[in-house]
Structure 1
Amino acid sequence: MRQRNPIAVAFVGASIILAAPAAAQETAEDVTSERRGPPEGMSTETVFDGDWASIGIGVAYSPSYDGSDDYVLSPAPLIQGSVGGIDINARPAGLAVDFIGDSATGASFDAGLAFRIRSNRASRIKDDVVKLAGELDTAIEVGPTVGASIPRVLNPFDSLSAAVDVRWDVAGAHGGMVVDPSITYFTPLSRGMAASLSLSAEYATDDYADYYFSVDAQQSADSGLAEYQADGGFNKVGANLLFAVDLDGDITNGGFAAVLIGGYSRLIGDAKRTPYTSERGSADQLFSAFGIGYAF
């Protein structure tokens, strides 16, 4: 079974099952007995061999801005796939394009471009005081992504992967650079179910931190928040747990699947100390999402 990039964690259950990494383990006896091939009745050919695509839609429940303790519902569409050996993988509020073909066996390497639309405090601010400080512009971040995936870590169908996205804002909003490292473990739980656990962090430059976390004199006068000067550095660490269920019970043939995601992140550094978080919000950030996808 071909291993694929595990960062495609969103609302396309069947493709996530083959491409993402997860948090479930088999016993040592099960792993040892299955190392030489797939479980009985499990085909080595899947809908994800060669060209394929997935489309999905879901709903997410998340903070209204980074550091908020108010939560909002928002739609979460997704498109991903592989055409001519070029993989399109999901990212939070964006996607990544991988130009290196995956290995049928052994470790795989990824290299390409990552894109993200960042609308932090650009709209839907529920806190009236933070709203008085003014809405921000939407950032469009673009940059390289690299990664690697190791299959068959604990069983014949799991994988451990790591990736790093480096992106710059090209829309003139925060005007800085963001680095997102992540590591993910994926494993099937049965023929029709899978799970993944992802750990991630976020590093940003001074321009980014100043735009989102500083409170300048005008913002202080408008909102009553204390003035604050933020510097760059690591601003967030987090974890996401995903469960995917193929609706016909077979992860290898595509079709419809349901996905449930739960996540927790903790703001650190100046992202935690800014008045937007320390006075008006919370450093503890929760995330949940549910979606339905179709792979073909």
Structure 2
Amino acid sequence: MNEVKMFMGLTLAALVNGLLIQAALAEETRTALVPLPSVDDFTGGEDGWGVGLGLSVEYESAYEGSDEFEFEPNPAGALQWRDGDNIYYFAGAALGWRGLRSETWLLDASVAFPVEEGREESDSEDGRLEGLGDVEGSTELVLQARRAFDSDWRYWLDARLVTSEDGNLFLVGPGRRFGDQTDGTGSELGLVVVFHDSDYANRDFGIDAEQSANSGLAQTDLDGGVRSVGLNYTFRYFVSDHWQVFGEALYEHYSSDVRDSPIARSDYEAEVGVGALYVF
């Protein structure tokens, strides 16, 4: 009987050890373009196609400046093609390219096409947008650069420009990656300062003479400057060889100019989202 127990114990130990070795090998074979959870890479470190498809659910502000919150399901994932240190991708309504340069520079350029209205009067169930009309979405060009302070991307600085016919948005801030994975999983925390020009500011928070007459809200014209200061937390993990879970939490505190707008019913914008996807 003791021999049987010993055999079973050795067999179980060998099985567990084998699974751990397989997990370690799987980790080694997956090498993301950069090891950041906020930059998805479904190619497994190899040239060619990478595909991830899934769904996320977000609990977020109903519109910019809203004190109302809502749940919203969204598709998740991307179609990617990797060629060395370059990835070309189609994600949601965005078509773009990102590339790694000198191991510490990540550059990204994309065109994001509008898939829905920027803001509708019906977005407020309390009727706080009545008389303001709908704000149309617009095609945006997004240019981004991240500079790592070391080759393992433990700390980095991010800068992003969003430009469209509605104006310009600029974001800048540092970040910190947690975990030692090289497959793009783990978690990270970023600090961001957001700037907008007057066109972009008035698209979301301005009220012209006609809107003022229709809504009864005070006419408001904003200058460009600081829009908000915020924190962004991201996590991403493989729960099996193909299934991945991810999530994000975002908090932005508006500047005093934005808070003075009658549209801004809250001093902040917040969002929490979780999801899962299958990596082919």
Normalising by the smaller structure, the TM-score range is 0.7 to 0.9
| Contact in 1 for aligned 2:58/2:71 (Cα 8 Å) | yes
| Contact in 1 for aligned 2:231/2:250 (Cα 8 Å) | yes
Cα offsets for 1:148-173 (capped at 9, x unmatched): 234556xxxx5333332222214xxx
Q: How far off its partner does 1:71 sit?
A: 0.8
The separation in 2 between residues aligned to 1:167 and 1:138, in whole angstroms, is 13
1:291 and 2:278 aligned: no
Percent of aligned positions that are identical? 20
The aligned runs of 1:217-228 (5 Å cut-off) are 217-228=209-220
- Within the candidate set 202, 215, 231, 1:210 is matched to 202
| Contact in 2 for aligned 1:64/1:121 (Cα 8 Å) | no
- Within the candidate set 171, 174, 177, 1:180 is matched to 171
What residue ranges of structure 2 are gaps of 5+ in the alignment? 1-27
| Contact in 2 for aligned 1:94/1:116 (Cα 8 Å) | yes
Tell me which residue corresponds to 2:260: 273
Cα offsets for 1:53-97 (capped at 9, x unmatched): 322320111111111000122222233344224325799x86473
Structure 1 length as normaliser, TM-score?
0.70
Identify the structure with bigger relative contact order (alpha carbons < 8 Å, sequence gap 6+): 1
Tell me which residue corresponds to 1:262: 249
The aligned runs of 1:63-212 (5 Å cut-off) are 63-80=61-78, 81-85=80-84, 86-88=86-88, 95=94, 97-101=96-100, 106-113=103-110, 115=112, 117=114, 119-122=117-120, 124-151=123-150, 159-170=154-165, 174=166, 176-188=167-179, 194-212=186-204
Give 2:270's aligned amino acid: L
The number of residues matched between the two structures is 245
Tell me which residue corresponds to 1:247: 239
Q: Tell me, what secondary structure is at the counterpart of 1:67?
A: coil
Distance 1:183 1:67, change over 3 A: same
Q: How far off its partner does 1:107 sit?
A: 2.0
Distance 1:201 1:119, change over 3 A: farther
Distance 1:213 1:191, change over 3 A: closer
What residue ranges of structure 1 are gaps of 5+ in the alignment? 17-45
Distance 1:234 1:95, change over 3 A: farther
The separation in 2 between residues aligned to 1:262 and 1:99, in whole angstroms, is 24
Structure 2 length as normaliser, TM-score?
0.73
Cα offsets for 1:147-205 (capped at 9, x unmatched): 2234556xxxx5333332222214xxx2x112122433223278997211122232111
Cα offsets for 1:26-57 (capped at 9, x unmatched): xxxxxxxxxxxxxxxxxxxx923433332232
Give 1:166's aligned amino acid: L
Distance 1:6 1:89, change over 3 A: farther
Distance 1:165 1:191, change over 3 A: closer
| Contact in 2 for aligned 1:147/1:163 (Cα 8 Å) | yes
Cα-Cα RMSD: 3.2
Q: Tell me, what secondary structure is at the counterpart of 1:210?
A: helix
